Amino acid sequence: MKYEKLSKDILELIGGKENVNSVFHCVTRLRFKLKDESIAKTEEIKNLDGVVTVMKSGGQYQVVIGNHVPDVYAAVLAVGGLSGVSENASNDDDGKKVGLGAKFIDMISGVFTPILGVLAATGMLKGFAALILALHWVEATSGTYSLLNIAGDGLFNFLPIFLGYTAMKKFGGTPFVGMAIAAALVHPGLTALSAGKPLYTLFKGTLFQSDIHVTFLGIPVILMSYASSVIPIVLSAFFAVKVEKGFKKIIPDVVKTFLVPFFTIMVMVPLTFLVIGPIATWAGSLLGAGTIWIYQLSPIVAGLVLGGFWQVFVMFGLHWGLVPIAMNNISSLHYDPILATTTFVSFAQTGAVLGVMLKTKNKKLKSLSIPAFISGIFGVTEPAIYGISLPLKKPFIMSCIAGGIGGGIIGAFGSKLWMFGGMGIFAIPSFIKPGAGLDMAFWGAMIAIVVSFVLGFILTALFGFKDTASKEETKVETKVEVKKEEGPVEVVSPIKGEIVPLSEVKDQVFSSEAMGKGVAINPSEGKVFSPVNGEVTIMFKTKHAIGLTSEDGAQILIHVGMDTVELDGKHFTAHVNQGDIVKAGDLLVEFDVEAIKAAGYQVVTPIVVTNTPDYQEIKVLQAGQVDKNEKLLVLV
């Protein structure tokens, strides 16, 4: 349980296991579907050791972990007593209004994510077999090549069975029912049924012309090859869940175990062969032809656009929309040029990270760059994006430019993915065309790798970035420079307005000085400035209260208004984050005085010293009107 504490912290901060509808993981992220995202403490989760960042996209609450996400996922399941993706966790189970785009992304990621790891692994096996054949290390007729090729082809040939499981589970049905329907689609007996002279031909002379060899209850069956197909089984699973739920309502509990799957399979297998399969296959063929048509309008422009914006797509989860298209292309066309243009964008990001690593003087940033660089070589770029390039801004932009140019080169050479393989350097064999060896399209992809990497590095080195000390280094420097002298500590006014004695504040917690001694101000403008040099130690999510610790150790709480926590951050804008180092007079928070009053809340703002017992006396220096940065309190 190496990640037990991290897992407990994550679960606690997302609102406990009671707030989790489902959870699964991809290469680098824990993907939660929460009942109520608003109660998750996002900023606190971001600050956990072991968490890169938090993303909200596609109806999912995504905690980016990095390469060891499978171990953290296992720990989350163990600590929380969770079972991963719930069999009842469909898109609408939590009752939220989710947009169609978010639903689509959530559905695609839920269906395809569970198999991507093994799909990439088998693709790498197939790529390795193609590589050793191209290098003439083995003969095409050798048992070594044949077995490696079979190991790589196995999953893809029977892909519908795997998708039958994941799709049924995602849609809220019984996974093994989905597998049974898919198994019928790839049954070897279908080959014999399509042999011989057809009975007649349907849709003759059209794009949908089909020979009919068999009928079902007199209805013609359009036999097609569903090996390696994607869309037919996903659609079939979607409707199978509806059918299964219908039978569950009417079949007695005592016989549900076998009669529900019996009737579901009996209905869905013929329905899939008669209607869903042919329509989905035709749709898949049209989709493949459509994407190729768009690509062929200008492969270079397509590569520039997809390569340039790919990392942005990944950040927002939009890349999932292209994954089934690529898989469908490989199934129907036996190659894919779309994802090919984006495959080596990771090297552009890796080059940019190398530029940061060599140029920065920030020790923490340099130490983070090393593992991010290594991960990027193998195609995992989230640690580099969220930990380094995106916070620095310019390196991320430079990596997008380099990635776009690399994608344009791939488009220019007509390089294609011939299998769904690995990422980073493991994706290289995927560009070898079976039987063609190392042709110019392959070498074009290799040129794209080098150009993307070198450009990412050079652009970052040339255009640079704002290299600042880390928070930890800043804090150390601040503490070293502080010269604590004996004598009173001065606190300036954080707000412009009218002084109100703390005893007159209409809140007993403050008026009784239970929180500490101090004063209140009725603000005439909605701005809160830092009253001391020090650190923001508390920034409430609702932004209505700020806690600071001065260089001299004074702990100051500024609480804007009474009961304004109920506004949940509305009418407040924070200009600093918890942990920031500030100087007296720095703007901390802005708030709309009139809007808060109109909502029925007071805006009288207490400023109290929460570590009052550390001082002999706390003197209020002002009465009547006070301006910001005027001396307000003296702590003796």
pLDDT of residue 499: 93
Catalytic residue selected from 25, 319, 544, 559: 559
The pLDDT score that the predictor gives to residue 102 is: 63
What is the reported pLDDT for 399? Answer: 92
Start-to-end Cα distance in the chain: 50
Chain-centroid distance of CA 190 in Å reads 41
Q: Residue 597 in contact with residue 603, Cβ under 8 Å?
A: yes
The reply to whether 26 belongs to the active site is yes
Alpha-carbon gap, residue 202 to 64, rounded angstroms = 51
What is the number of residues in the chain? Answer: 636
Map out the domains of the chain as residue ranges.
4-87, 158-294, 298-463, 487-635
Q: Provide the Cα torsion 388, 391, 393, 394; round to 10°.
A: -30
- Determine the pLDDT at residue 88: 37
Which distant-in-sequence residues (6+ apart) come within 8 Å of 612 by Cβ? 513, 516, 517, 618
- CATH number for the segment(s) 4-87: 3.30.1360.60
Q: What's the confidence (pLDDT) of residue 91?
A: 41
What is the rounded distance in angstroms from the CA atom of residue 424 to the CA atom of residue 430?
A: 11
How does pLDDT run across 388-428, given as a tens digit for each residue?
Answer: 888 788 899 999 999 999 999 999 999 998 887 777 888 88
Residue 216's DSSP bridge partners are 219
Low-confidence stretches of the chain (pLDDT < 70) are 1, 27, 58, 67, 83-106, 109, 207, 287-288, 315-321, 467-487
**487-635 belongs to which CATH class?**
mainly beta
- Asked whether the beta carbons of 31 and 66 are under 8 A apart, the reply is no
Q: Of the residues 25, 26, 213, 319, which is catalytic?
A: 26
Position 1 scores a pLDDT of 55
The 8-class DSSP code of residue 39 comes to G
Instruction: Please tell me the predicted confidence (pLDDT) of residue 49.
Output: 83
> What is the per-residue pLDDT across 135-178, written as a single tens digit (0 to 9) for each?
888 888 899 988 988 898 888 889 899 999 999 988 889 999 99
pLDDT score, position 473: 45
pTM over 0.85: no
Tokens representing residue 70 in the block: 């499978």
The angle subtended at Cα 150 by Cα 146 and Cα 155, nearest 5°, is 170
What pLDDT, on a 0 to 100 scale, did the predictor assign at position 316?
63
21-79 pLDDT per residue, tens? 888 887 678 888 888 888 999 989 988 888 888 888 767 888 888 767 888 888 898 88
**What stretch of H or E contains 559?**
strand 555-559
